[in-house]
Chain A
C-alpha cells in the first residue's frame, strides 16, 4: 500500500510524506519515547502501521472529511500519530494547550466545532467532560493513557489502543476508502488549525494549508541543511506552531527522529540522554539552564571554580569568533581546545548540547550575555523571527552571521517590506490561509496581494541587511514629553538579569516610566538560601528589603544603559514595585506561551499603578487568583514602592 502512494505523485501532504518515509527509511527510527526508564522506539514503517490502524479506527468511528479533531496532551508519539491519522481521513487536527483551564478549552472546542477529541490522560478527559454540556459538538472522546479510566462511561469514549485494534480488525472494510481520501488531498487542503495564544482578546484559529506546511518545511530544511539523521527533542507545547513545523513538518520532510521526554519534569535529563542535533528553545529555557549551571558552579570546589572562570573568560573572547570562522591566533585556538577538553565539553554534555549542529531561539528577545554564553561554548545558537500566521519562519540568521540584536535575513521564499509607520509586512508560501470563521480579522491582517501584517515594528540595518525588531507596533507610544516609549525594549533589558523573571513597563502618554517586576524564584531563592534568609512563599521573598535593594540596583543599571540611546532615554524607570504574585496564564495575565498581556495587567493592578504615580511609599492590595483546578481565591499584600535613580539626559526630563 505504501508503495502505491509514494508513486502517487506529488508529496503534498504529511500522510504522503509518511508513506514515502516508510519506504525510504523503513527501519530507521521515527519516534522515541522514554517510558519505564527505557527509550522505546518506533521505526518509520512501524509508525506508519500505527498511524494507518489509527486512521482506520477513526473511519470506523465515522470521522468525516473536514471534521475537526482536537488533540490535548503532552508530547507523546501517539498524539502526533493521532494528528497524522486525522489528516489521513481528511479531518483537520487542532492541537490545544494541555495546561489550559476548562473554560479556555470550551471556547476553542466550540469555535472549531470539534466532533472528536483525543486526550492524553484522565486529567484532560475530565476537563473535556466538564465542558461537554456547554460544547454540544463533541461526539466521541479518545484517550491514550488508560490509568483511572476504567470506571468512566464508555458509550462515547474509547482508548486510542482500542480504536487502533478496531481499525486493524476492520482494515478490509475501510482500506480502500482510506486510500481514496488520502489521495484526494491537494496543496490547498487544510493541514492543521492552530489557535494563536492571543495577547489581545480571544484566540483565533489560524488555518494552515498543506502548501503552507510542506513548502515551509522544505525551505527551512534547505536553509540549515537538515538531514535524515537529525535528532530532536519534542517538548514544547503541541499547540504551538513551532512544534508542528519541527516535529511534524520538518521531521516528515527530512525523515528524522522525534524524541519525546518521559515527563515534563524529566525533560532536562532526557535532553542530556538524547543530545539532539537540532534544537529549539525560547530564551527562558536557556536562561534556566544557565542559572542552574551557575548555581551548581558555586557549590563546586575552589580548583574547579577557578578553572571554570579561566576557560569561560577565554571562551567569551574567542569562542564566537571561532564559530563565525573569523581569524584567531594559533595559541588562542590551542587554549580553546584545552578548554573544550576541561570545561566546555563536559558542560555541553551535562546540558545536553554535545551534538547540537543547529540551535534556534525565538519568541522573545534574548539577552546578549546569555546568547554569547552559549555561542562561546561552540554551540551554533541562532535567532529566528516568526509567528503562527507565517508557519513560523519570517526571518532567520544564516550560519556565520549571528548577532544577538538582529533576527537575520528573510527566510527562503519570504518577502518582507517595512511600512511607513515601521510595521513589518511579509508575503510567503507559509502565510496562512485565513482565520477560521473570522473574515474581519483575516481582512485586517492579510491584504488581497497576500501581504500579512505582523504587528511588530522594525527596520533593516543598512550595512548588514539584517532585520531588527523594536517592539510590538501597537505598544510603541509616546511619553507626555513627546519622546518615544518602547516598553519591550526596557523590559527585555530588565529580564536579562537572572533575578528578574518578568517586567512590565508603563508610561505611554505619561510624564515618567514605571515598572512592575516579578522576581525569578529559582535565582533569588538560591541567593536567599546562601544568605540564610528564611522565606515561606514567593510573596514573602518578593517583599524582602534586600531583594528590593538588589532589584533597585538592576533597575538603575538598566536606566544607565537606556540613557545611552538618545531616542529612548525617556524610557528610564523612575519608580517600580515587585509584584506580590507571579504573573500567570491561569489568571489571564499571560498567554499560554508566556507573553504578558499588557492591557489585562494594567487593568487588574490599576490600584498599584495609581500608587506608582501618586508618590505613595506603600500600598495595600487584594488580588484574585485562579488555582490550577480552576477554583478562585484571593491574596492580599502591602507592597513597597521604590524610587530608582535616573540619569538626566535632556532638559525636558528635569521636571521630575
Chain B
C-alpha cells in the first residue's frame, strides 16, 4: 500500500481514496544540536484520514508544523499537489488549502464564536483595510459571501446557539469545536488536527469523532491528525504513521500498525 503509484485504494468502509496529495521526502528537522525529526518519509492521499501517533516527545507536533509550513525542514522536501513546495510563509501555505487546529486552543477569547470563525475566511478576503473598516461596496458583498460559508460551518458543527457568545465563556470541549469550525471556514483541502480530543470526556470525544468523519465524508476533506487516544485513532484513521524519538517506526493500516513489533516496543517500553 505504501508504493508511490498515483492511483488510490478503497478503504474497508468502501470509500475511494485518491492519489498522493502531499508527500514528505526524507524530512529532517534540527533545532541547534537537537534532532527533532530524523529522515522521515510518508505520504498523505486525497480523501484519507491519516494519523500520526507516537509516545510523548516523538516529534509528532514538529511533523505537523513542517506540514503546515510553520517549520522549514533542515533537510528533505515537501511535495504538495505534485510539486515541491518552495520556502513559503505559513499564510501562503494556508492559501494553498491547508488549515489546522492547535493542541493548546488558540482562539481570540474576547471575540464571539462567529467572529472567531470569520477569521478563518481571512485568506479569502481581498478588499483593503479601509473599505473593510467603512464596510462599503466590495467589502460588504465579500462579507456576505463569507458569512454564508461560515454559517454553513456553524450549522454543520451544531454551534448555532453559541454564535454570539464570547469564546472565553465557553467550556473546553466547545472551544475545540470552534477551532475546528474556524479551520473548516477556510474550506481546506488538507485539514491538520493537533490532538483534537485532548482533555475531552467520552461524550465530547464521541461528538468530535463524528464531526471528523462527517467532515471527511461530506466535504471530501483530507485529514491528518495527531492523537493520543489509541481507540480514537484506530477507529477513525485509514492509515497511521508511528513515530518514536524522531524516527518513523511504522506505517500502514491500523491493523498492520497494531501488530508491528517496533510499535509495541515503543509503547510498552524497551531499553534503548
A residues in contact (CB < 8 Å) with B: 35-38, 147-148, 150-151, 262-263, 265-266, 269
Q: Could you list 10 A-B pairs, sorted by A, with CB under 8 Å?
A: A36-B148, A36-B151, A36-B154, A38-B151, A148-B214, A148-B217, A150-B217, A265-B160, A265-B161, A266-B160
Q: Which of B145-179 contact A (CB under 8 A)?
A: 147-148, 151-152, 154-156, 158, 160-161, 163-164
Across-interface contacts of B147 in A (CB, < 8 A): 37
Chain B nearest CB, measured from A295 CB (Å): 15
Q: For A269, list chain B residues within 8 Å (CB).
A: 161, 164
Residues of B within 8 Å of A37, CB to CB, are 147, 151, 154, 160, 163
Identity of the chain B residue whose Cβ is nearest the Cβ of A266 in the assembled complex:
B161
Shortest C-beta distance, B5 to chain A (Å), equals 27
With A147-B156, A147-B214, A148-B214 given, name 5 new contacts (CB 8 A).
A36-B151, A36-B152, A37-B147, A150-B218, A265-B160
Assembly CA distance A36 to B117 (angstroms): 14
Instruction: Give B115 Cβ to nearest chain A Cβ, in Å.
Output: 13
- Selected from B14, B158, B218, the residue in CB contact (under 8 A) with A263 is B158
Which residues of chain A come closer than 8 Å to B156, judged between CB atoms? Answer: 147
B160 close to A147 (CB less than 8 A): no
Chain B residues with CB under 8 Å of A265's CB are: 160-161
Which residues of chain B have a CB within 8 Å of any CB of chain A? Answer: 14, 147-148, 151-152, 154-156, 158, 160-161, 163-164, 214, 217-218
- Contact yes or no, A263 B154, CB < 8 A: no
Residues of A within 8 A of B164 (CB): 269
Check if B161 sits within 8 Å of A36, measured CB to CB.
no
**Which chain B residue shows the least CB distance to A268?**
B161
CA distance A506 to B195 in the complex (A): 52
Residues on the A chain within 8 Å of B161, using CB? 263, 265-266, 269
Of B154, B155, B156, most A-chain CB atoms within 10 Å:
B155
List the 4 closest pairs (A to B, CB-CB), nearest first. A265-B161, A36-B151, A266-B161, A37-B151
Which residues does chain A contribute within 8 Å of B214, judged by CB atoms?
A: 147-148
Which residues in A have their C-beta under 8 angstroms from that of B160?
37, 262-263, 265-266
B217 close to A36 (CB less than 8 A): no
Q: Complex: how many Å from CA A140 to CA B151?
A: 32
Which of A36, A151, A262 gathers the greatest number of chain B CB atoms within 10 Å? A36
Which chain B residues lie closer than 8 Å to A36 at the CB level?
148, 151-152, 154-155
A266 partner residues in chain B, CB cutoff 8 A = 160-161
Q: How far is the CA of A148 from the CA of B210 in the complex (A)?
A: 10
Which residues of A lie under 8 Å from residue B151 when comparing CB positions?
A: 36-38
Instruction: Give the nearest-CB partner of B161 in chain A.
Output: A265
Q: Which residues of A contact B155 (CB under 8 A)?
A: 35-36
Give the CA-CA distance A151 to B14 in the complex, in Å: 10
Q: Which residues of A contact B152 (CB under 8 A)?
A: 36
Contacting residues, chain A, for B14 (C-beta < 8 A): 151
Residues of A within 8 A of B217 (CB): 148, 150-151
* A264 nearest in chain B by CB position: B161
Chain A residue with Cβ nearest B151: A36
Smallest Cβ distance from B236 to chain A, in angstroms?
A: 15
| A150→B152 CA distance, assembly (Å) | 18
Q: How far is the CA of A151 from the CA of B218 in the complex (A)?
A: 11
* Complexed CA–CA distance, A340 and B148 (Å): 38
Minimum CB–CB distance for A264 against chain B, Å = 9
Closest Cβ of chain B: how far from A632's Cβ, in Å? 17
Query: Across the interface, which residues of B come within 8 angstroms of A35, CB to CB?
Result: 155
Cα distance, A38 to B160, chains bound together (Å): 11
Which B residues are CB-close (under 8 A) to A151?
14, 217
Given the complex of chains A and B, what is the CA–CA distance between A102 and B147 in angstroms? 38
Bound Cα distance from A148 to B213, whole angstroms: 10
Q: How far is the CA of A652 from the CA of B261 in the complex (A)?
A: 81
Bound-state CA distance A453–B214 (Å) is: 51
CB distance from A435 to the nearest CB of B (A): 38
A36 to B153, CA, bound (A): 9
Q: Taking each of B155, B160, B163, B214, which has the highest tally of chain A beta carbons within 10 Å of its own beta carbon?
A: B160
CA distance A147 to B151 in the complex (A): 15
Query: Nearest chain A CB to B220's CB is how many angstroms away?
Result: 11
Closest residue on chain A to residue B114 by CB atoms: A37
Q: Once the chains are docked, how many angstroms separate the CA of A397 from the CA of B54?
A: 69
Q: How far is the CA of A59 from the CA of B201 in the complex (A)?
A: 48
Closest B-chain residue to A628, C-beta based?
B203
Q: How far, in angstroms, from A148 to B217 measured CA to CA in the complex?
A: 8
Give the chain B neighbours of A38 by CB distance below 8 A.
Answer: 151
Query: Smallest Cβ distance from B117 to chain A, in angstroms?
Result: 11
A470–B196 alpha-carbon span in the complex (Å): 55
Complex formed: what's the CA distance from A99 to B91 in Å? 45
A37 to B162, CA, bound (A): 12
Residues of B contacting A262 with CB < 8 Å?
A: 160
State A367–B160 Cα separation when bound (angstroms). Answer: 33
Q: Which residues of B contact A263 (CB under 8 A)?
A: 158, 160-161
Chain B: minimal CB distance from A522 (Å): 16
Would B218 and A147 count as touching, CB distance under 8 A?
yes
Q: How far is the CA of A535 from the CA of B163 in the complex (A)?
A: 28
User: What is the CA–CA distance of A265 and B151 in the complex, to the nearest angstrom?
Assistant: 16
Please name all residues of chain A whose beta carbon is closer than 8 Å to the beta carbon of B154 when the two chains form the complex. Answer: 36-37
Assembled-state Cα–Cα distance A148/B152 (Å): 15
- Residue from the set B14, B147, B161, B214 with the largest chain A CB neighbour count within 10 Å: B161
How far is B147's CA from A147's CA once the two chains are assembled, in angstroms? Answer: 21
Please give, as numbers and ranges, the residues of chain B lying within 8 Å of A148 by CB-CB distance: 214, 217-218
For the complex formed, measure the closest distance between the CB of B9 and the CB atoms of chain A, giving whole angstroms: 18
* B11 smallest CB distance to A (angstroms): 12
- For the complex formed, measure the closest distance between the CB of B113 and the CB atoms of chain A, giving whole angstroms: 12
Chain A residues lying within 8 Å of B163, measured Cβ to Cβ, are 37
B233 to chain A, nearest CB (A): 22
Chain B residue nearest to A37 in the complex (CB): B151
A158 to chain B, nearest CB (A): 19
Measured CB to CB, the nearest residue on chain B to A145 is B155
Least Cβ–Cβ distance between A266 and chain B, in angstroms: 5
Q: How far is the CA of A269 from the CA of B164 in the complex (A)?
A: 10
Residues of B within 8 A of A150 (CB): 217-218
B118 smallest CB distance to A (angstroms): 12
Complex-state Cα separation, A36 to B163, whole angstroms: 11
Bound CA–CA A269/B155 (angstroms): 16
CB of B229, distance to nearest CB on chain A (Å): 20
Min distance, Cβ A38 to any Cβ of chain B, angstroms: 8
- CB proximity of A157 to chain B, nearest CB, Å: 18
CB distance from A235 to the nearest CB of B (A): 13
Q: How far is the CB of A32 from chain B (nearest CB, A)?
A: 16
Closest to A148 in B: B214
- Cβ of A533 to closest chain B Cβ, rounded Å: 19
A38 to B147, alpha carbons, bound, how many Å? 11
A228 to chain B, nearest CB (A): 30
A23 to B163 alpha-carbon distance, docked (Å): 38
CA distance A269 to B163 in the complex (A): 11
* Chain A: minimal CB distance from B188 (Å): 19
